[in-house]
Structure 1
Protein backbone atom coordinates (compact mmCIF):
# COMPACT_ATOMS: atom_id res chain seq x y z
CA UNK A 1 0.00 0.00 0.00
CA UNK A 2 1.30 3.45 -0.97
CA UNK A 3 -0.30 6.81 -0.11
CA UNK A 4 0.93 10.14 -1.53
CA UNK A 5 -0.49 13.47 -0.27
CA UNK A 6 0.32 17.19 -0.26
CA UNK A 7 -0.20 18.11 3.37
CA UNK A 8 3.28 19.66 3.77
CA UNK A 9 3.00 21.62 0.51
CA UNK A 10 -0.21 23.23 1.71
CA UNK A 11 1.64 24.85 4.61
CA UNK A 12 3.90 26.65 2.10
CA UNK A 13 0.97 28.07 0.18
CA UNK A 14 -0.69 29.25 3.40
CA UNK A 15 2.53 31.07 4.18
CA UNK A 16 2.42 32.81 0.77
CA UNK A 17 -1.28 33.73 1.09
CA UNK A 18 -1.91 34.12 4.84
CA UNK A 19 -5.52 35.28 4.43
CA UNK A 20 -6.41 31.74 3.28
CA UNK A 21 -5.82 30.56 6.87
CA UNK A 22 -9.06 32.27 7.90
CA UNK A 23 -10.99 31.57 4.69
CA UNK A 24 -13.98 29.27 4.74
CA UNK A 25 -13.38 25.73 3.49
CA UNK A 26 -15.50 24.91 0.42
CA UNK A 27 -16.96 21.63 -0.87
CA UNK A 28 -16.16 22.14 -4.56
CA UNK A 29 -13.07 23.64 -6.21
CA UNK A 30 -15.03 25.90 -8.58
CA UNK A 31 -18.48 27.39 -8.86
CA UNK A 32 -20.68 25.32 -11.14
CA UNK A 33 -22.02 26.45 -14.54
CA UNK A 34 -19.85 29.56 -14.75
CA UNK A 35 -17.86 30.15 -17.93
CA UNK A 36 -14.64 32.04 -17.28
CA UNK A 37 -13.77 34.76 -19.76
CA UNK A 38 -10.38 36.24 -20.54
CA UNK A 39 -11.52 39.87 -20.63
CA UNK A 40 -14.10 40.20 -17.85
CA UNK A 41 -13.11 41.97 -14.64
CA UNK A 42 -10.33 44.28 -13.57
CA UNK A 43 -6.78 43.31 -14.58
CA UNK A 44 -4.43 42.43 -11.74
CA UNK A 45 -1.92 45.16 -10.94
CA UNK A 46 0.75 42.54 -10.13
CA UNK A 47 0.03 39.16 -11.77
CA UNK A 48 3.12 37.42 -10.32
CA UNK A 49 1.24 35.96 -7.33
CA UNK A 50 -1.48 34.59 -9.63
CA UNK A 51 1.18 32.87 -11.74
CA UNK A 52 2.89 31.42 -8.66
CA UNK A 53 -0.39 30.07 -7.30
CA UNK A 54 -1.37 28.51 -10.63
CA UNK A 55 2.12 26.99 -10.89
CA UNK A 56 1.70 25.50 -7.42
CA UNK A 57 -1.67 24.07 -8.42
CA UNK A 58 -0.21 22.58 -11.60
CA UNK A 59 2.42 20.80 -9.48
CA UNK A 60 -0.31 19.71 -7.11
CA UNK A 61 -2.23 17.92 -9.87
CA UNK A 62 0.31 15.10 -9.67
CA UNK A 63 -1.18 14.00 -6.35
CA UNK A 64 -4.63 15.61 -6.65
CA UNK A 65 -6.26 14.66 -9.96
CA UNK A 66 -9.62 15.86 -8.59
CA UNK A 67 -8.57 19.46 -9.27
CA UNK A 68 -7.02 18.84 -12.70
CA UNK A 69 -9.88 20.30 -14.73
CA UNK A 70 -10.32 23.49 -12.69
CA UNK A 71 -6.56 24.13 -12.67
CA UNK A 72 -6.53 23.63 -16.43
CA UNK A 73 -9.28 26.23 -16.79
CA UNK A 74 -7.49 28.78 -14.59
CA UNK A 75 -4.08 28.21 -16.19
CA UNK A 76 -5.44 29.62 -19.46
CA UNK A 77 -5.44 33.11 -17.96
CA UNK A 78 -1.82 33.39 -16.75
CA UNK A 79 -0.86 35.82 -19.54
CA UNK A 80 -3.48 38.40 -18.51
CA UNK A 81 -5.13 37.41 -15.21
CA UNK A 82 -8.08 39.36 -13.83
CA UNK A 83 -9.32 39.84 -10.28
CA UNK A 84 -12.11 37.32 -10.92
CA UNK A 85 -9.51 34.73 -11.94
CA UNK A 86 -7.53 35.30 -8.73
CA UNK A 87 -10.72 34.89 -6.70
CA UNK A 88 -11.37 31.58 -8.47
CA UNK A 89 -7.82 30.39 -7.70
CA UNK A 90 -8.35 31.34 -4.04
CA UNK A 91 -11.53 29.23 -4.09
CA UNK A 92 -9.54 26.26 -5.45
CA UNK A 93 -6.98 26.74 -2.68
CA UNK A 94 -9.74 26.84 -0.04
CA UNK A 95 -10.99 23.53 -1.42
CA UNK A 96 -7.48 22.06 -1.34
CA UNK A 97 -6.93 23.31 2.21
CA UNK A 98 -10.11 21.61 3.36
CA UNK A 99 -9.20 18.37 1.62
CA UNK A 100 -5.42 18.37 2.16
CA UNK A 101 -5.46 14.88 3.66
CA UNK A 102 -6.60 13.48 0.30
CA UNK A 103 -4.07 12.02 -2.05
CA UNK A 104 -3.29 9.07 -4.26
CA UNK A 105 -3.81 5.63 -2.83
CA UNK A 106 -2.39 2.55 -4.53
CA UNK A 107 -3.83 -0.59 -2.97
CA UNK A 108 -1.64 -3.68 -3.21
CA UNK A 109 -4.73 -5.91 -3.43
CA UNK A 110 -6.40 -3.95 -6.24
CA UNK A 111 -6.97 -5.66 -9.58
CA UNK A 112 -4.85 -4.87 -12.60
CA UNK A 113 -7.86 -4.03 -14.79
CA UNK A 114 -7.18 -1.08 -17.08
CA UNK A 115 -10.12 1.31 -17.60
CA UNK A 116 -10.27 4.51 -19.64
CA UNK A 117 -12.89 7.29 -19.82
CA UNK A 118 -13.12 10.19 -22.27
CA UNK A 119 -15.18 13.37 -22.63
CA UNK A 120 -15.48 16.18 -25.19
CA UNK A 121 -16.79 19.71 -24.63
CA UNK A 122 -17.70 21.05 -28.08
CA UNK A 123 -17.17 24.83 -28.38
CA UNK A 124 -17.15 25.09 -24.58
CA UNK A 125 -15.03 28.26 -24.42
CA UNK A 126 -17.10 31.35 -25.14
CA UNK A 127 -14.01 33.46 -25.95
CA UNK A 128 -12.60 31.17 -28.64
CA UNK A 129 -15.34 28.62 -29.53
CA UNK A 130 -12.71 25.90 -29.15
CA UNK A 131 -13.42 22.40 -27.93
CA UNK A 132 -11.74 20.45 -25.15
CA UNK A 133 -11.01 16.74 -25.09
CA UNK A 134 -10.31 15.02 -21.77
CA UNK A 135 -9.51 11.48 -20.72
CA UNK A 136 -8.37 9.54 -17.67
CA UNK A 137 -6.96 6.05 -17.26
CA UNK A 138 -7.31 3.86 -14.16
CA UNK A 139 -5.25 0.84 -13.18
CA UNK A 140 -7.54 -1.05 -10.85
CA UNK A 141 -9.09 1.61 -8.63
CA UNK A 142 -6.13 4.04 -8.91
CA UNK A 143 -5.91 6.89 -11.38
CA UNK A 144 -2.87 6.30 -13.57
CA UNK A 145 -2.93 9.18 -16.06
CA UNK A 146 -5.12 11.92 -17.45
CA UNK A 147 -5.04 14.62 -20.09
CA UNK A 148 -7.08 17.65 -21.03
CA UNK A 149 -6.45 19.43 -24.34
CA UNK A 150 -7.98 22.52 -25.91
CA UNK A 151 -8.12 22.07 -29.67
CA UNK A 152 -6.39 24.49 -32.05
CA UNK A 153 -9.31 24.70 -34.48
CA UNK A 154 -12.64 26.40 -33.90
CA UNK A 155 -15.86 24.38 -33.64
CA UNK A 156 -18.87 25.38 -35.70
Structure 2
Protein backbone atom coordinates (compact mmCIF):
# COMPACT_ATOMS: atom_id res chain seq x y z
CA UNK A 1 0.00 0.00 0.00
CA UNK A 2 1.22 3.40 -0.84
CA UNK A 3 0.70 6.58 1.22
CA UNK A 4 -2.35 8.02 -0.64
CA UNK A 5 -4.26 4.76 -0.12
CA UNK A 6 -3.42 4.82 3.58
CA UNK A 7 -4.68 8.39 3.89
CA UNK A 8 -7.98 7.44 2.29
CA UNK A 9 -8.49 4.59 4.72
CA UNK A 10 -7.33 6.47 7.83
CA UNK A 11 -10.19 7.85 9.95
CA UNK A 12 -10.39 11.59 10.67
CA UNK A 13 -9.08 12.12 14.18
CA UNK A 14 -9.34 14.84 16.77
CA UNK A 15 -7.57 15.28 20.08
CA UNK A 16 -9.55 14.42 23.17
CA UNK A 17 -9.99 17.18 25.78
CA UNK A 18 -8.15 15.17 28.42
CA UNK A 19 -4.99 15.14 26.31
CA UNK A 20 -5.15 11.37 25.78
CA UNK A 21 -5.33 9.48 22.56
CA UNK A 22 -7.04 11.09 19.58
CA UNK A 23 -10.64 10.04 19.01
CA UNK A 24 -12.34 9.67 15.65
CA UNK A 25 -14.58 12.57 14.60
CA UNK A 26 -18.08 11.34 15.36
CA UNK A 27 -21.31 11.76 13.47
CA UNK A 28 -22.78 13.82 16.34
CA UNK A 29 -20.69 16.86 15.41
CA UNK A 30 -22.61 17.32 12.13
CA UNK A 31 -25.89 18.56 13.70
CA UNK A 32 -23.95 20.82 16.06
CA UNK A 33 -22.18 22.43 13.11
CA UNK A 34 -25.53 22.94 11.36
CA UNK A 35 -26.92 24.66 14.47
CA UNK A 36 -23.89 26.96 14.69
CA UNK A 37 -24.15 27.81 11.00
CA UNK A 38 -27.88 28.59 11.37
CA UNK A 39 -27.24 30.80 14.41
CA UNK A 40 -24.50 32.62 12.51
CA UNK A 41 -26.76 33.08 9.47
CA UNK A 42 -29.67 34.43 11.53
CA UNK A 43 -27.39 36.81 13.45
CA UNK A 44 -25.84 38.00 10.19
CA UNK A 45 -29.26 38.70 8.66
CA UNK A 46 -30.40 40.56 11.77
CA UNK A 47 -27.34 42.81 11.90
CA UNK A 48 -27.47 43.39 8.15
CA UNK A 49 -31.09 44.56 8.41
CA UNK A 50 -30.21 46.83 11.35
CA UNK A 51 -27.34 48.29 9.35
CA UNK A 52 -29.68 48.96 6.42
CA UNK A 53 -32.23 50.67 8.66
CA UNK A 54 -29.52 52.83 10.23
CA UNK A 55 -28.19 53.77 6.81
CA UNK A 56 -31.68 54.80 5.66
CA UNK A 57 -32.21 56.88 8.79
CA UNK A 58 -28.85 58.61 8.35
CA UNK A 59 -29.76 59.56 4.76
CA UNK A 60 -33.14 60.92 5.91
CA UNK A 61 -31.55 62.98 8.69
CA UNK A 62 -28.88 64.32 6.34
CA UNK A 63 -31.62 65.46 3.95
CA UNK A 64 -33.49 67.15 6.80
CA UNK A 65 -30.30 68.85 7.97
CA UNK A 66 -29.58 70.12 4.47
CA UNK A 67 -33.14 71.47 4.27
CA UNK A 68 -32.78 73.26 7.63
CA UNK A 69 -29.44 74.75 6.57
CA UNK A 70 -30.95 76.06 3.32
CA UNK A 71 -34.10 77.40 4.98
CA UNK A 72 -33.50 77.99 8.72
CA UNK A 73 -36.70 79.99 9.19
CA UNK A 74 -38.81 77.07 7.98
CA UNK A 75 -38.09 74.93 11.06
CA UNK A 76 -38.85 77.82 13.41
CA UNK A 77 -42.06 78.57 11.51
CA UNK A 78 -43.15 74.91 11.67
CA UNK A 79 -42.48 74.86 15.42
CA UNK A 80 -44.52 78.05 15.89
CA UNK A 81 -47.43 76.65 13.86
CA UNK A 82 -47.37 73.45 15.92
CA UNK A 83 -47.28 75.45 19.15
CA UNK A 84 -50.21 77.64 18.06
CA UNK A 85 -52.25 74.55 17.17
CA UNK A 86 -51.69 73.04 20.63
CA UNK A 87 -52.40 76.28 22.52
CA UNK A 88 -55.37 76.99 20.24
CA UNK A 89 -57.01 73.78 21.45
CA UNK A 90 -56.82 75.06 25.04
CA UNK A 91 -58.01 78.63 24.55
CA UNK A 92 -59.14 81.12 21.91
CA UNK A 93 -56.11 82.93 20.52
CA UNK A 94 -56.11 86.46 19.10
CA UNK A 95 -56.72 86.39 15.35
CA UNK A 96 -54.91 88.25 12.61
CA UNK A 97 -51.65 88.46 14.52
CA UNK A 98 -48.50 86.34 14.59
CA UNK A 99 -47.19 86.10 18.17
CA UNK A 100 -43.61 86.49 19.27
CA UNK A 101 -42.57 83.18 20.83
CA UNK A 102 -39.96 82.90 23.57
CA UNK A 103 -38.73 79.99 25.66
CA UNK A 104 -38.14 80.19 29.42
CA UNK A 105 -34.50 79.22 29.94
CA UNK A 106 -33.84 80.46 33.49
CA UNK A 107 -37.06 80.56 35.53
CA UNK A 108 -35.24 81.57 38.73
CA UNK A 109 -34.31 84.95 37.23
CA UNK A 110 -37.97 85.54 36.30
CA UNK A 111 -39.63 84.43 39.58
CA UNK A 112 -39.78 88.02 40.86
CA UNK A 113 -42.33 88.85 38.15
CA UNK A 114 -45.82 87.57 39.02
CA UNK A 115 -46.45 86.36 35.45
CA UNK A 116 -43.49 83.97 35.69
CA UNK A 117 -44.12 82.80 39.28
CA UNK A 118 -45.09 79.28 38.14
CA UNK A 119 -42.81 79.14 35.10
CA UNK A 120 -40.54 76.17 34.49
CA UNK A 121 -37.60 75.72 32.17
CA UNK A 122 -38.81 74.98 28.66
CA UNK A 123 -42.15 76.75 29.05
CA UNK A 124 -43.20 78.89 26.07
CA UNK A 125 -44.32 82.51 26.17
CA UNK A 126 -46.57 83.77 23.37
CA UNK A 127 -46.66 87.56 23.20
CA UNK A 128 -49.38 89.23 21.13
CA UNK A 129 -48.41 92.90 20.83
CA UNK A 130 -51.59 94.16 19.09
CA UNK A 131 -53.91 92.22 21.40
CA UNK A 132 -51.67 93.22 24.36
CA UNK A 133 -51.75 89.69 25.73
CA UNK A 134 -49.06 87.29 26.97
CA UNK A 135 -49.62 83.56 27.41
CA UNK A 136 -47.37 81.25 29.44
CA UNK A 137 -47.70 77.68 28.16
CA UNK A 138 -46.24 74.44 29.53
CA UNK A 139 -45.68 72.14 26.51
CA UNK A 140 -44.82 69.11 28.67
CA UNK A 141 -48.07 69.19 30.65
CA UNK A 142 -49.99 70.80 27.75
CA UNK A 143 -51.37 73.47 30.08
CA UNK A 144 -51.78 77.21 29.95
CA UNK A 145 -50.04 78.35 33.12
CA UNK A 146 -50.79 82.08 32.99
CA UNK A 147 -52.42 84.73 30.81
CA UNK A 148 -51.75 88.39 31.44
CA UNK A 149 -52.18 91.76 29.74
CA UNK A 150 -49.04 93.27 28.26
CA UNK A 151 -48.12 96.92 28.65
CA UNK A 152 -45.20 98.39 26.76
CA UNK A 153 -42.94 101.10 28.19
CA UNK A 154 -43.34 103.62 25.34
CA UNK A 155 -47.15 103.63 25.63
CA UNK A 156 -46.98 104.42 29.34
CA UNK A 157 -44.64 107.34 28.67
CA UNK A 158 -46.99 108.80 26.03
CA UNK A 159 -50.02 108.83 28.36
Q: Pick the TM interval, shorter chain.
A: under 0.3
Task: Pick the structure with more strand per residue.
Answer: 1
TM-score (norm 1): 0.23
Q: Which has the higher contact order (CA 8 A, sep 6+)?
A: 1
TM-score (norm 2): 0.23
